[in-house]
Chains A and B, each alone.
Chain A
């Protein structure tokens, strides 16, 4: 029995995952290399920059040791790689905590924000796109054109501020844009790290209501800005399928419209999956801006603080985590894409 035979005998999902996995390692290595080089790009001596006026020979030597700046570039890289492998991302100069600990503490806040934004963005984009294609020339079609154009031109941080002004300051219907939960309420016991899930699990409904309320404006901001592009691309894909022969055949055979739409959507799925992967990348970048506005206390705000305070270990750690996260998302997207399209041979 040859290798290829036993390979083909494996279940298809497993084959897809196994053929994709080896590519992740050189990419991860690249990500580690880039984050490593980041601090080396600093003009001049980074220790002097970070310590400023408080620099003494001992403190400089200490910080050089702490940042792994001793030895040749190659030795430094090996040292850094070893540390990363052990989950040691250095110590934040600002919070004095290990960067890895800081990041893990803040990750759920950002993930919860991205999770709900992605959910809402996909629903809004796909619904608008489908209606616009199925009923061309209708009001939704017209609205979606203007929205698609405008959404790409609106800065997310600006629309977030406008929402705060109109819905919180003027109308008073939105909850205060500070943090993930009402400060008078206690955060639910951390199980998943998502306040909405945790408060549901704890049966704490006032915490649930508060955390959903606090999510409303930031999620709305991210959705409004990102759904436009996704909608336009979904529209292009779906319109192509909608005009194809097999859809015309289904209509000629008298299938109900609902079933035809479902079948057309099923066939537009692979490109949409890819787009959603890119969307996560965009949302992560946008979260940096939106978290700052809403004092969200997640990874994005941590990154902004590290930029403002010249806290390079923290910034380095954030870039590493964000890039690794995106690589994994792209991996999942690739796997889902091949799962959704049975024609692809693995």
Chain B
């Protein structure tokens, strides 16, 4: 609790952290209060009011099928963050134990696991994601599962790197001498000291996951209409952009930028907060 208060105090003194947190809070508000904030139904087509510019009735205009862009952006926050946060948390929960085991035990199994992880990472991430989603079926959960698979190696590697340096430290040797079991050493002594880089990475990865989800939907390998999703919304407007109809693609794209930026800034702040060289004034 004191640590949370301390982090809030830390945030208030830093413009970057403050912007990141504010943007994040805005997104949480949009997620929780979407039905009240939205002015129209996000999935109801209204051909009569197709492609209207921003007005008092439609704050950010309408797309080609007459759906209200503002309402869709608000509702899309739910979908986009649901996919990205679930995917990254899942990757974190799977990747951390893998990294711990692979770093702690050095045998053929851990070498093999590392080779497999290296191999997954050697694929061009977007290409592999696109192929997997289109094969598994273009559903929200399949996008999340694919993203999770793509992010597992990231966390496993980060944890492993920390474990490799920690396991040689005297306090681990002391724990071993006092008869602690491997599991105790791993989870009680090593894990808490190895987590910081991965926690920072969670925030950064969520941002990347949002970009990947949007990209997948943009090319038609992600979620499908009429689901409100930012990348899909940009894609809906991409045909008209050249004709000067800018609002259909511009606003959802801005939502992506702000969302990714908020997680990047938050990640930076968390890293600075945990940095031991930081002055604790």
User: Chain A residues in contact with chain B, CB under 8 A?
Assistant: 27, 30-31, 34, 38-39, 41-43, 149-150, 152-158, 161-162, 164-165, 168-170, 177, 281-282, 284-286, 288-289, 292-293, 303-304, 307-308, 310, 312, 315-316, 318-319, 322-323, 326-327, 330
A161 touches B238 (CB 8 A): yes
Within the complex, what minimum Cβ distance (angstroms) separates B93 from chain A?
A: 23
Contacts of A326 in B (CB 8 A): 122-124
User: Chain B residues in contact with chain A, CB under 8 A?
Assistant: 119, 122-128, 130-132, 134-137, 207, 211, 214-215, 218-221, 231, 234-235, 237-238, 241-244, 246, 249-250, 253, 256-258, 260-261, 264-265
A285 touches B125 (CB 8 A): yes
Within the complex, what minimum Cβ distance (angstroms) separates A4 from chain B?
A: 25
| Alpha-carbon gap, A150 to B254, bound state (A) | 12
Q: A150 touches which one: B123, B125, B215, B261 (CB < 8 A)? A: B261
Q: B219 touches which one: A288, A316, A318 (CB < 8 A)? A: A288
| 8 A-B contacts (beta carbon < 8 Å) | A150-B257, A152-B207, A155-B215, A168-B242, A169-B241, A284-B127, A288-B130, A315-B134
Q: B260 touches which one: A30, A152, A281, A289 (CB < 8 A)? A: A152
| Alpha-carbon gap, A284 to B123, bound state (A) | 11
Known: A153-B207, A170-B244. A38 touches B131 (CB 8 A): yes
Known: A153-B257, A155-B253. A27 touches B219 (CB 8 A): no
Q: Which residue of chain B lies nearest to A326 when distances are taken between CB atoms in the complex?
A: B124
Known: A161-B241, A165-B241. A155 touches B211 (CB 8 A): yes
| Alpha-carbon gap, A282 to B244, bound state (A) | 30
A162 touches B253 (CB 8 A): yes
Q: Which residue of chain B lies nearest to A299 when distances are taken between CB atoms in the complex?
A: B127
Within the complex, what minimum Cβ distance (angstroms) separates A160 from chain B?
A: 9
Q: Which residue of chain B lies nearest to A41 when distances are taken between CB atoms in the complex?
A: B135
B241 touches A43 (CB 8 A): no
A177 touches B242 (CB 8 A): yes
Contacts of B238 in A (CB 8 A): 157, 161, 293
Within the complex, what minimum Cβ distance (angstroms) separates A36 from chain B?
A: 12
Contacts of A284 in B (CB 8 A): 124, 126-127
A307 touches B264 (CB 8 A): no
Q: Which residue of chain B lies nearest to A311 when distances are taken between CB atoms in the complex?
A: B134
| Alpha-carbon gap, A158 to B250, bound state (A) | 8
Contacts of A150 in B (CB 8 A): 257, 261
Q: Which residue of chain B lies nearest to A33 when distances are taken between CB atoms in the complex?
A: B119
Q: Which residue of chain A lies nearest to B234 when distances are taken between CB atoms in the complex?
A: A158
A315 touches B131 (CB 8 A): yes
| Alpha-carbon gap, A30 to B121, bound state (A) | 12
B124 touches A155 (CB 8 A): no
| Alpha-carbon gap, A39 to B132, bound state (A) | 9
| Alpha-carbon gap, A87 to B246, bound state (A) | 45
Known: A150-B261, A152-B207, A288-B219. A327 touches B122 (CB 8 A): yes
B264 touches A158 (CB 8 A): no
Given A318-B127, A322-B127, 9 more A-B residue pairs with CB atoms under 8 Å apart are A39-B135, A43-B136, A152-B260, A155-B218, A155-B234, A157-B218, A158-B253, A165-B241, A319-B128
| Alpha-carbon gap, A318 to B135, bound state (A) | 14
Q: Which residue of chain B lies nearest to A159 when distances are taken between CB atoms in the complex?
A: B253
B215 touches A322 (CB 8 A): no
| Alpha-carbon gap, A159 to B73, bound state (A) | 18
| Alpha-carbon gap, A202 to B246, bound state (A) | 40
B131 touches A285 (CB 8 A): no
| Alpha-carbon gap, A100 to B207, bound state (A) | 36
